[in-house]
Every structure is written in structure tokens, then in C-alpha cells.
């Protein structure tokens, strides 16, 4: 006959880890629906949290990818405020000076005129839509981060003519989505013929809402004083930081403090990483669901301990210590919660993947979201199961074996 | 199948110097108003290989005695020695270890896990003894064969008759080869015929060497045991060897003209 070895008849009972794992699953296997329902709260909580964190990371990844595609080497120079508080002007020589900086390979400028643009002369002149005509150098789109969607950009010939190119937002405000031959807009006292429409400019919203004409035309007919409003500077990637630091002094050597230098991509990166108020709201809701889930697990474990009193008594008679009973019920609660947490991570990730796919973003589930979700479920299971497990272990064997 | 499994414990009988179970002037008082004196100065020893009946009316303290003997509860005073170990000196952990290795229980209510197979119900007897599952199952299959349930290994307890359930419980109690098996009214939930079959089984297991204490309030059951301890009001009033009446076995056999040993062969 098979006999238990003498060594195993040691004074203290023990339970193998594999057997503990099986014991932890007993309550869940025998009451599947109940287990599923009580894990649901935790699944919803973890799912909401994972989805919120996943969506915000994915959208940030999407925006960052867009920024990376545009490049982070665009720097802009604008006039700041003078010492007295009045708006300063950039020196006429600034673009030329900047172009001389090592590492700079492109300098383009725009200059704002005081001329407003309308769809037609019958529109009342107060309805400007805040659209003004800006003079532009001839290679602006490549520098500012956009390209031509329709038609073509200004060239040496059209820069002298009453021809204009519309920024994406300007085109939309004017109600022009297609260029027909002879398409024109009213610029106060002259018609401007539309020769091109730009794609949306993520990095330079100013270009987006501009109606752009050539400098020669603006000088002649729109009373431009010639001072640039914004200088768009492209530097080679390795020199961006150095150029950034030199730009103010190079643009206006006499009053460097009257110059505003910025890197549009860095502002966007910050915006991409910013958490919206919605995130906070949904995270809060997720936390509430987790709390409700924890109460559900605790409730189910209390009931389970009451129902399984004779099982507890039998196990004590078979040689289970109090610690064995405690760890069995604690493991069951943790298993229940972790299954809920895992289901939540899956659901939250799936929701994120579907939404991100729809938006053309890369799906990003931050490690702290899924690992944190599982860890939170584990901790919740341990806390929720602790009291029921202690209660089960406290029962005396004879008390547990009572049947009525 | 039982041949050669265990040599009849002549050794156990010879070792009369160290009893498997020894209670000396044990009292048990359940606190309350008024406190219940469930056991008063009870002294009893059980040697290895014995088959003992504990007989007495309801409330006489039989279950209390069995719980103390099985280390499920502690005595208020007096000494309880199980396999020579003083229960009062052992920690809760050590007592659990003692139960896991040396004590088997059979309850009136069977206490089987309805979602587990018969085999795993029996295998769980050694769950807390640090034995691997494969070994547990092998031992359990053997124990089930000994109680003539080798053909029901994969059945669930809910698919068994009452007598079969109690045989599963008995297999569970003897599977780990404990030093002593304590049975509290094992036939209490069974009809007379099935109960007789269970007693036959206990007698057979005892012949194979298992030390068994059976609690009952049925004189007919006690009459079949080799030793009879009578209790009344928390005291032992008599403790004597009883001559198993041959008529009892004959009567059981006669009650079942179809099968002299009711569990033999196919399910009824
Ligand atoms: N946990 C307890 N608390 C208080 N009193 C108890 C407890 N358990 C048993 N008793 C009392 O102790 C006495 C002996 O009970 P015990 O269960 O040992 O009797 P028994 O001989 O097994 O009876 P039966 O044949 O009815 O099972 C009874 O009077 C009972 O009321
Ligand atoms: N639900 C079930 N599924 C499969 N087999 C079953 C089921 N219920 C009973 N059996 C089998 O049918 C046979 C008869 O069972 P039954 O419970 O009717 O016996 P019984 O005469 O009441 O026995 P006992 O006196 O032991 O209670 C047994 O072999 C049992 O294993
Ligand atoms: Mg009793
Ligand atoms: Mg029946």
C-alpha cells in the first residue's frame, strides 16, 4: 500500500502553494455567477481608469507623432513689448541678421497690414471675422509647418499682383473650400484673387487665419510699412537650442528684451501632455466604482464564510490550521478582485484601442495604468477579504461543525 | 485487493504500553448560565487496534468526548494524550498537524464537498499533510477500493446513495492511515440495513489494523463492537469488553437476502 512518508508526519500541518491556488478557486468555481457579479464592480472601476489613462496617453502620442512629423526645429520671432509698454517693432534688418546665424537654413516672414478681408463688398465692414491681409515671403508654408492644399503659393510674379493665398481657417471663415477660376475676396477697396488654399497649420495658428499676399503688392497697394510681424526661422536639429538662445540679440541687438522668441512645438508638447478636467472626472468615477466593487467583494466573502461554516469545520478536522483557513479565504477574495481587475484592464485597453484606431492614433496603455489597475485590484481584494478571512479563521472547529 | 495491504496490527496490540488515546480525569465545562458540565472526571484509554463503542443517551457527553479526543476542543481540566502527545502542551498549529497526520473523523452528516469528485473528496484528507496531489489521489483511490467504491471515483457525492456517501467519508477518514479513527454516529442518518453495512465495513477496517472509536446511542450498533464504553450524564458508567453477538451479523445478513454483504459487487 502507498504510505505517507514518516517525514510528512511532522508536528505542524502544511499546505502546498499549488493546493492553495486550487482552494482559492473553489468558491469561485462553485458559484460562478455570483463571483462574476461581485467582480464586476472592480472590473468597471479598473476599466474606467485604464481607459481614461489609455485614451489620454494615446491622444498625446497621436499629437506628439504629428509634432514629430512637422519637426521641432521651427522657431518664431515676434515683437514684444517695449520698455514703456508700447508694442515694439522688429528691425527691418532682423531677417537678414538671423539668416546669418550658423545652423539657420530658412528665414521667412509675415507682416500684418491693417486691411480687413470680406467675402464680398456687400458684407458690412464691421463683420471682419478678424481676418486681415498679411504680406508673406515666398517660401512661408515650408517654414511655418504647412503646405498648399489647393492651387499654388505666391511666387515672384503673383507677389506683385492682387493675388492671395488663404490659410485653412481663413478659407473656412470665408466659406471657400474650392478655388474656382476668378474666385476673389474683398480687401476693403480692392479685390484679391484666390490662387491657393493652405492645409491647416498646427504649429502656426497665425498663418491659419491669414489672407496672404506678396510683399511688393502689399507695399504698393495696402500701405505696408515694411516691418516684419513674425519671423519664421528653421534651424538644423542639432543647433535648435543654440539658435533659440541667440535669436533675440540677433534680431534686435539694441533691445533684445523687446523680442519674443518661441518654439511652437514645445507649446504643443505641453498641451499634449496636459490632462483635461474630464480625465479627473472619469478617474473619480473609476475610484467610486472600485470602492463599490470592494464593498461587493467584502459582502460576498462575508456571506461565503457564513455559508461554508461546515466546510471550515471539516477542514479544521482534516488538519487545517487557523492560518490555512485565513489564507484560503483571503486568497479567494484576492483572486476574485484580481480577476475583476484583469477583466477591467482588458475592457479598458480594448476601448482605448478601438477609439485610438478610429482617430488614427497609436494605442498607448501606460504601464502604470494596467499594472496599477491589477495592483489596485489586488490590494482591494486583500482589504475586502481580510475581515471575512479573520472571521473564518477565528471560528473554533467544534463551532464550525455545528449543524442545526 | 485488501490482501497484503496492511499486516494486521499485532504490533499495535503488543504495544499496550503506549495507548493511542488516553484521557485521564478529564472534565469539560461549557461556560454559560448555568455552566454545562458535559464531562466529569472521565478516564479512558484506547490501545492500538481496538474497536470501541461509546454508548449513551442523548446529551450524555459522547460528542464532547470525541471532540476532545480528536483535539478539536480542549479539556477544562485533566489530561488528554493522543499518540502519547499531551494536547494541552501543543499549539493550535501543532494540534492541526496532529489531526492531519494521526486522526480521522467520520461525521453523521458526511460533510462531503458536493462540487468535487469522490476521489478528490477522499484525497483532500491529506491536503494539510504536505502530500502532493498525485500521491493523494493514488492513496485515495486505494482507500476507496477498500470501501468498495473503486467504481465511483469520478462520481459527485450528489450522485451517491446515503450509504455510499458515508463510505466515501470513511474512506476519507482512513486514507491517511491515521492512528485513530473517530466516528460520531456514522449510521445516524442511514436506514438500519445500510447502517449495518457501514458497521461491517468499520469492523473489516479494524481487522486490517485501524483503531476505531464509534459513538452511538444505538444499543444494536454498540453490541457489535468488541468493547463498549457506556456514558451517562458526563460520566463513564461502564467500560467492558462485549461479546459481539453473532446473531447481530446474522440478522443483518438475513435482512438482505439478495446480498449478504450489501456493498459487495455492483451497486444495488
Ligand atoms: N458548545 C456547547 N455549549 C454549551 N453546551 C454544550 C455545547 N456542546 C454540548 N453542550 C452540552 O453538553 C452536553 C453534552 O453534549 P454532547 O453533544 O456531548 O452530547 P451527546 O452525548 O453527543 O448527545 P447526542 O447523542 O444527542 O449527540 C449536553 O448537555 C449539551 O447541551
Ligand atoms: N443522481 C444520481 N446520479 C447517478 N447515480 C445515482 C444518482 N442517485 C443515485 N445514484 C445511484 O443509484 C443507486 C441507488 O441509489 P439510491 O440513493 O436510490 O440508493 P438507496 O437504496 O437509497 O441506498 P442507501 O440505503 O445507501 O441510501 C446507487 O448506486 C447510487 O450511486
Ligand atoms: Mg452527539
Ligand atoms: Mg437512500
Is residue B56 within 8 A of residue B230, CB to CB? The reply is yes
A361 exposure class (CB count in 10 Å sphere: 0-12, 13-18, 19+): buried
- pLDDT, position A2: 53
- Domain assignment present for B100: yes
> What's the rounded mean pLDDT across residues B53-59?
93
Domain ranges of chain A: 17-66+269-401, 73-262
A238 exposure class (CB count in 10 Å sphere: 0-12, 13-18, 19+): exposed
pLDDT tens-digit profile of B130-188?
889 999 999 999 999 989 999 999 999 999 999 999 999 999 999 999 999 999 999 88
| Average pLDDT value over all residues in chain B | 85
pLDDT tens-digit profile of B86-123?
999 999 999 999 999 999 999 989 999 999 999 999 99
Beta carbons within 8 Å of B253's beta carbon, 6+ residues apart: B260
Contact B129 A320 (CB under 8 A): no
Nearest to B124 among A9, A30, A318 (CB): A318
- pLDDT, position B4: 40
pLDDT band at B29 (very low <50, low <70, confident <90, very high): very high
Complex ipTM value: 0.85
**Phi and psi at residue B208, to the nearest 5°:** -80, 0
Q: Which of ligand 2's atoms lies nearest the C-alpha of B160?
A: 31
Residue A12 has pLDDT above 70, yes or no: no
pLDDT band at A275 (very low <50, low <70, confident <90, very high): low
Residues counted in chain B: 268
How far is residue B2's CA from residue B47's CA, in Å, rounded to a whole number? 23
- pLDDT, position A181: 87
Contact B130 A14 (CB under 8 A): yes
Does residue A314 belong to the interface with chain B, where contact is any CB pair within 8 Å?
yes
C-alpha cell at A123: 458684407
Stated pTM of the model = 0.75
Does residue A21 belong to the interface with chain B, where contact is any CB pair within 8 Å?
no
C-alpha torsion A94→A97→A99→A100, nearest 10? -170
Residue A11 has pLDDT above 80, yes or no: no
How far is residue B146's CA from residue B92's CA, in Å, rounded to a whole number? 32
| Average pLDDT value over all residues in chain A | 88
Residue A359 has pLDDT above 90, yes or no: no
How far is residue B53's CA from residue A176's CA, in Å, rounded to a whole number? 105
Enumerate residues 179 to 218 of chain A having a beta carbon within 8 A of any beta carbon in chain B: none
Does residue A308 belong to the interface with chain B, where contact is any CB pair within 8 Å?
no
**Phi and psi at residue A92, to the nearest 5°:** -60, -30
| Bridge pairing between strands A148-151 and A191-198 | antiparallel
Residue A270 has pLDDT above 80, yes or no: no
How far is residue A211's CA from residue A216's CA, in Å, rounded to a whole number? 15
What residue's CA is closest to ligand 1, atom 16? Answer: B61
Q: Which one of A6, A8, A10, A12 would you mutate to disrupt binding with B, by most B Cβ within 10 Å of its Cβ?
A: A12
Cα-to-centroid distance, B82 and ligand 2 (Å): 37
Contact A319 B133 (CB under 8 A): no
Residue A267 has pLDDT above 80, yes or no: no
- pLDDT, position A196: 94
pLDDT tens-digit profile of A206-226?
899 899 999 999 988 888 877
> What's the rounded mean pLDDT across residues B36-60?
94
Contact A319 B111 (CB under 8 A): no
Nearest to A14 among B6, B115, B128 (CB): B128
Domain total of chain B: 1
- pLDDT, position B250: 44
Does a cis peptide bond (omega within 30 degrees of 0) precede residue B45?
A: no
Q: Which of ligand 1's atoms lies nearest the C-alpha of B64?
A: 18
Residue A345 has pLDDT above 50, yes or no: yes
How far is residue A155's CA from residue B107's CA, in Å, rounded to a whole number? 101
Does residue A1 belong to the interface with chain B, where contact is any CB pair within 8 Å?
yes
Best CA proximity match to B69, nearest among B82, B56, B58, B83: B82
* Ligand 2 pocket, residues with Cβ under 6 angstroms: B 159-164, 191, 194, 267-268
**Phi and psi at residue A20, to the nearest 5°:** -60, -40
Contact A11 B98 (CB under 8 A): yes
Is the CB of B30 within 6 Å of ligand 1? yes
Find chain B residues with C-beta within 8 A of A2's C-beta: 135, 138-139, 142
Does residue A32 belong to the interface with chain B, where contact is any CB pair within 8 Å?
no
Domain interval for residue B190: 10-255
Does residue B120 belong to the interface with chain A, where contact is any CB pair within 8 Å?
no
Cα-to-centroid distance, A202 and ligand 2 (Å): 79
Cα-to-centroid distance, B164 and ligand 4 (Å): 9
Compute CA distances A140 → A10, A111, A145, A234, whole Å.
86, 12, 9, 11
Best CA proximity match to A320, nearest among B182, B214, B126: B126
Can you give chain A as a three-state secondary structure string?
Answer: CCCCCHHHCCCCCECCHHHHHHHHHHHHHHCHHHHHHHHHHHHHHHHHHHHHHHHHHHHHHHHHHHHHHHCCCEEEEEECECCCCCECCCCCCHHHHHHCCCCEEEEEEEEEEEEECECCCCCCCCCCCCCEEEEECCCHHHHHCCCEEEECCCCCCHHHCCEEEECHHHHHHHCCCCCCCCCEEECCCCEEEEEEEECCCCCCHHHHCEEEEEHHHHHHHCCCCCCCCEEEEEECHHHHHHHHHHHHHHHCCCCHHHEEEECHHHHHHHHHHCCCHHHHHHHHHHHHHHHHHHHHHHHHHHHHHHHCHHHHHHHHHHCCCHHHHHHHHHHHHHHHHHHHHHHHHHHHHHHHHHHHHHHCCCCCCCHHHHHHHHHHHHHHHHHHHHHHHHHHHHCCHHHHHCCC
More confident residue, A87 or A385: A385
Cα-to-centroid distance, B160 and ligand 2 (Å): 5
Chain A nearest-CA distance from B50, in A, is 21
Chain A nearest-CA distance from B143, in A, is 10
> What's the rounded mean pLDDT across residues A348-371?
92
Q: Which of ligand 1's atoms lies nearest the C-alpha of B32?
A: 4
Is residue B123 within 8 A of residue B139, CB to CB? The reply is yes
Cα-to-centroid distance, B168 and ligand 3 (Å): 21
Closest Cα in chain A to B113: A311
More confident residue, B59 or A126: B59
pLDDT tens-digit profile of B216-234?
888 888 888 889 999 999 9
C-alpha cell at B72: 478539536
How far is residue B199's CA from residue B218's CA, in Å, rounded to a whole number? 12
Cα-to-centroid distance, B158 and ligand 2 (Å): 9
What is the CATH number for B143? 3.40.50.300
Residue A105 has pLDDT above 90, yes or no: yes
Please work out, in degrees rounded to the nearest 5, the angle formed at the alpha carbon of residue B33 by the alpha carbons of B27 and B37: 15
Is residue A275 within 8 A of residue A56, CB to CB? The reply is yes
Best CA proximity match to A335, nearest among A386, A393, A382: A382
- Domain assignment present for B132: yes
Find chain A residues with C-beta within 8 A of B133's C-beta: 18-19
- Domain assignment present for B1: no
Chain B nearest-CA distance from A399, in A, is 10
- pLDDT, position A357: 93
Residue A10 has pLDDT above 70, yes or no: no
Instruction: Name the percent of chain A lying above pLDDT 70.
Output: 93
- pLDDT, position A161: 92
Contact A397 B73 (CB under 8 A): yes
Q: Under the phi-then-psi rule, with left for phi > 0, alpha for psi from -120 to 50, and beta for the rest, what region is B37?
A: beta
Cα-to-centroid distance, B35 and ligand 3 (Å): 18
- pLDDT, position A264: 85
Is residue A103 within 8 A of residue A235, CB to CB? The reply is yes
Find chain B residues with C-beta within 8 A of A308's C-beta: none
More confident residue, A126 or A340: A340
Does residue B94 belong to the interface with chain A, where contact is any CB pair within 8 Å?
yes
Beta carbons within 8 Å of A26's beta carbon, 6+ residues apart: A332, B113, B115
pLDDT tens-digit profile of A144-202?
888 999 999 999 999 999 999 999 999 998 889 888 888 999 887 889 999 999 999 88
pLDDT band at A402 (very low <50, low <70, confident <90, very high): confident
**Phi and psi at residue B60, to the nearest 5°:** -80, -10
Amino acid at each position: 500500500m502507498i504510505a505517507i512518508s514518516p517525514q510528512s508526519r511532522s508536528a505542524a500541518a502544511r499546505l502546498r502553494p499549488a493546493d492553495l491556488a486550487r482552494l482559492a478557486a473553489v468558491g469561485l468555481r462553485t458559484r460562478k455567477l455570483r463571483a462574476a457579479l461581485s467582480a464586476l464592480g472592480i472590473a468597471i472601476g479598473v476599466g474606467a481608469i485604464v481607459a481614461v489613462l489609455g485614451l489620454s496617453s494615446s491622444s498625446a502620442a497621436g499629437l506628439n507623432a504629428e509634432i514629430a512629423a512637422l519637426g521641432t526645429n521651427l522657431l518664431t520671432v515676434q515683437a514684444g513689448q517695449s520698455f514703456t509698454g508700447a508694442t515694439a517693432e522688429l528691425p527691418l534688418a532682423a531677417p537678414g541678421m538671423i539668416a546669418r546665424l550658423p545652423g539657420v537654413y530658412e528665414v521667412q516672414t509675415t507682416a500684418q497690414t491693417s486691411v480687413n478681408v470680406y467675402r464680398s463688398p456687400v458684407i458690412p465692414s464691421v463683420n471682419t471675422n478678424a481676418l486681415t491681409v498679411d504680406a508673406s515671403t515666398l517660401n512661408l508654408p515650408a517654414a511655418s509647418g504647412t503646405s498648399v492644399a489647393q492651387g499654388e503659393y505666391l511666387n515672384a510674379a503673383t507677389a506683385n499682383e492682387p493675388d492671395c493665398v488663404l490659410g485653412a481657417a481663413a478659407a473656412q471663415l470665408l466659406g471657400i473650400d474650392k478655388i474656382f477660376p476668378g474666385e476673389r475676396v474683398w480687401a476693403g477697396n480692392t479685390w484679391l484673387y484666390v490662387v491657393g488654399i493652405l492645409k491647416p497649420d498646427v504649429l502656426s495658428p497665425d498663418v491659419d487665419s491669414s489672407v496672404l499676399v506678396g510683399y511688393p503688392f502689399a507695399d504698393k497697394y495696402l500701405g505696408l510699412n515694411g516691418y516684419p510681424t513674425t519671423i519664421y526661422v528653421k534651424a538644423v536639429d542639432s543647433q535648435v537650442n543654440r539658435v533659440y538662445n541667440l535669436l533675440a540679440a540677433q534680431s534686435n541687438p539694441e533691445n533684445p528684451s523687446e523680442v519674443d522668441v518661441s518654439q511652437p512645438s514645445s507649446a504643443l508638447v505641453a498641451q499634449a501632455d496636459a490632462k483635461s478636467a474630464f480625465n479627473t472626472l472619469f478617474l473619480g468615477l473609476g475610484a467610486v466604482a472600485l470602492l463599490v466593487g470592494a464593498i461587493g467583494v467584502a459582502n460576498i466573502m462575508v456571506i461565503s464564510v457564513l455559508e461554508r461554516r461546515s466546510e471550515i469545520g471539516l477542514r479544521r478536522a482534516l488538519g487545517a490550521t487557523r492560518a490555512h483557513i485565513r489564507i484560503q479565504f483571503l486568497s479567494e477574495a484576492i483572486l476574485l478582485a484580481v480577476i475583476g481587475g484583469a477583466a477591467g484592464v482588458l475592457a479598458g485597453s480594448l476601448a482605448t484601442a478601438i477609439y485610438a484606431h478610429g482617430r488614427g492614433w497609436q494605442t498607448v496603455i501606460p504601464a502604470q495604468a494596467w499594472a496599477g489597475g491589477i495592483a489596485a485590484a489586488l490590494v482591494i481584494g486583500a482589504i475586502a477579504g481580510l475581515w471575512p478571512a479573520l472571521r473564518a479563521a477565528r471560528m473554533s472547529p467544534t463551532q464550525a461543525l455545528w449543524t442545526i | 485487493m485488501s490482501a497484503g495491504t496492511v499486516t494486521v496490527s499485532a504490533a499495535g496490540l503488543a504495544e499496550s504500553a503506549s495507548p493511542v488515546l488516553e484521557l485521564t480525569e478529564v472534565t469539560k465545562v461549557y461556560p454559560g448560565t448555568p455552566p454545562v458540565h458535559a464531562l466529569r472526571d472521565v478516564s479512558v484509554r484506547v490501545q492500538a487496534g481496538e474497536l470501541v463503542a461509546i454508548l449513551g443517551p442523548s446529551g450524555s457527553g459522547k460528542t464532547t468526548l470525541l471532540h476532545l479526543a480528536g483535539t478539536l476542543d480542549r479539556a477544562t481540566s485533566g489530561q488528554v494524550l493522543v499518540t502519547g502527545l499531551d494536547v494541552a502542551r501543543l499549539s493550535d498549529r501543532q494540534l492541526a498537524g496532529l489531526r492531519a497526520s494521526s486522526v480521522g473523523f467520520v461525521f453523521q452528516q458526511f460533510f462531503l464537498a458536493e462540487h468535487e469528485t469522490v476521489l478528490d473528496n477522499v484525497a483532500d484528507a491529506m491536503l494539510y499533510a504536505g502530500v502532493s496531489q498525485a500521491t493523494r489521489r493514488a492513496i485515495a483511490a486505494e482507500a476507496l477500493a477498500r470501501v468498495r467504491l473503486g467504481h465511483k471515483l469520478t462520481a459527485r457525492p450528489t450522485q451517491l446513495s446515503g450509504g455510499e456517501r458515508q463510505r466515501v467519508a470513511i474512506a476519507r477518514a482512513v486514507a491517511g492511515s491515521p492512528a485513530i479513527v473517530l466516528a460520531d454516529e456514522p449510521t445516524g442518518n442511514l436506514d438500519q440495513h445500510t447502517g449495518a453495512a457501514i458497521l461491517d465495513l468499520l469492523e473489516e477496517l479494524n481487522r486490517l489494523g485501524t483503531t476505531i472509536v464509534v459513538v452511538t446511542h444505538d444499543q444494536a450498533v454498540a453490541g457489535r463492537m468488541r468493547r463498549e464504553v457506556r456514558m451517562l450524564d458526563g460520566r463513564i458508567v461502564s467500560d467492558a469488553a462485549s461479546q459481539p453477538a453473532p446473531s447481530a451479523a446474522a440478522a443483518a445478513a438475513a435482512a438482505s437476502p439478495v446480498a449478504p454483504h450489501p456493498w459487495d459487487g455492483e451497486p444495488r
